Amino acid sequence: MSDFKSKVSYVKGLADGLELQDSKEKKLMMEIISVLTEMGEALDELENAVQENQEYLESIDEDLGELEENYYGSDDDDDYDEDEDDFDEDELDFDDEDFIEVECPKCHETVYIDEDLVDEDGKAECPNCKVMIDVKQIENDME
């Protein structure tokens, strides 16, 4: 039983101990305890689901590890392969993450904007015409 459910049980015990006469207040208290009990059930289900997902992820991670070992073969080749990987990832970073490709709504140039230059509101200056572009908005529209 989760902490939450044992606390709800404790509260329910306290309420029972009051031996309240039937009243609107008692009805309200019983209703609150009933809602709390349902929340406890929902929390348990969530915890179970998260736990199952966690185990599933770990099993995928293990399988992936085995696949990688089989794919990359013996230790002798590892250094070479890892170096190759690093090179590829750096290239991908340049294309996918560091720069955002957008068409400027003002000058209609396709420009590449450094993600670091995009402000909190998702806006950045067009390198071509210096107008503020709503980068995030354009990105969302493209998807």
Site residues (vs Zn ion, CB under 5 A):
104, 106-107, 126, 128-129
Q: 112 has which bridge partners?
A: 101
Please, what is the minimum distance in Å from the beta carbon of residue 140 to Zn ion?
A: 19
Closer residue to Zn ion (CB): 8 or 133: 133
Residue 124: CB minimum distance to Zn ion, A: 11
Amino acid letter for position 117: L
Name which of 44 and 125 has its Cβ closer to Zn ion. Answer: 125
Measured from the CB of residue 110, what is the shortest distance to Zn ion in angstroms?
10
Q: Residue 23 burial (CB < 10 Å; 0-12/13-18/19+)?
A: exposed
Decide: 131 and 113 in contact? Cβ < 8 Å.
Answer: no
